[in-house]
Amino acid sequence: MTNELSVSGGQRPTWARRIREERDARGWSQSDTIRALRAHSKDSLPSDATLLRNWKRWEAGDAVPDTFYKPLIAKTFGTVTGALFPAPARQHHERTLLTTTGMDTLEIVSRLRVSDVSPSTLDALAITTERLCSEYAYMPSGQLKTEGHAWLGRMTGLLGQRLTLAQHRELLAQAGWIALLVGCVEYDLGEKSAAEATRRAALSLGQEAEHAGIIGWAYEMQAWYALTQGDYRGVIAASDAGQTAAPSLGVSVQLAAQKAKAWARIGDRRQVEVALDQGRTLLEQQDHPSNIDNHFVVDPAKYDFYVMDCYRLLKEDRLAESYARQVIEAGTEFDGRERSPMRNAEARLTLGVIAARQGDVELAVNYGEGALKGERKSLPSLLMCSRELAIIFRERYSGNSDASGFLDRLQDLSTRNTSQTDHEDR
Do 149 and 107 share a structural domain? yes
- At residue 6, the pLDDT reads 38
- At residue 332, the pLDDT reads 85
- Does position 301 have pLDDT exceeding 70, yes or no? yes
Do 150 and 105 share a structural domain? yes
DSSP label at 337? -
Do 170 and 141 share a structural domain? yes
| Cα–Cα distance, 400 to 422 (Å, whole number) | 32
Do 112 and 56 share a structural domain? no
Domain for residue 367, yes or no?
yes
Do 237 and 95 share a structural domain? yes
Domain for residue 320, yes or no?
yes
Name which of 68, 20, 80 is nearest 306 in CA terms: 80
Question: Mean pLDDT score of the chain, rounded to an integer?
Answer: 86
What CATH number did the domain enclosing 197 receive? 1.25.40.10
- Does position 31 have pLDDT exceeding 70, yes or no? yes
- At residue 4, the pLDDT reads 40
| Cα–Cα distance, 390 to 149 (Å, whole number) | 36
Q: How confident is the model at residue 116 (pLDDT cuts 50, 70, 90)?
A: low
Tens-digit pLDDT profile for residues 230-289: 999 999 999 999 999 999 999 999 999 999 999 999 999 999 999 999 999 999 998 888
Domain for residue 355, yes or no?
yes
- Does position 410 have pLDDT exceeding 50, yes or no? yes
- Angle of CA points 227, 333, 364, to nearest 5°: 55
- At residue 418, the pLDDT reads 63
Do 350 and 287 share a structural domain? no
Tens-digit pLDDT profile for residues 373-404: 877 778 888 899 899 999 999 999 988 999 99
Do 184 and 214 share a structural domain? yes
Q: Look at the chain and report how many structural domains it folds into.
A: 3
Do 344 and 285 share a structural domain? no
| Cα–Cα distance, 328 to 330 (Å, whole number) | 6
Do 271 and 135 share a structural domain? yes
What are the residues whose beta carbons fall under 8 Å from the beta carbon of 203, sequence distance 6 or more? 214, 215, 218, 219
- Using a CB cutoff of 8 Å and minimum separation of 24, what contacts does 311-314 make? 312/350, 312/353, 312/354, 312/388, 313/261, 313/264, 313/265, 313/388, 314/264, 314/269, 314/272
Do 145 and 59 share a structural domain? no
| More confident: 81 or 110 | 81
**pTM listed for this prediction:** 0.83
Residue 361 sits in which domain range?
Answer: 315-426
How large is the average pLDDT for residues 79-96?
67
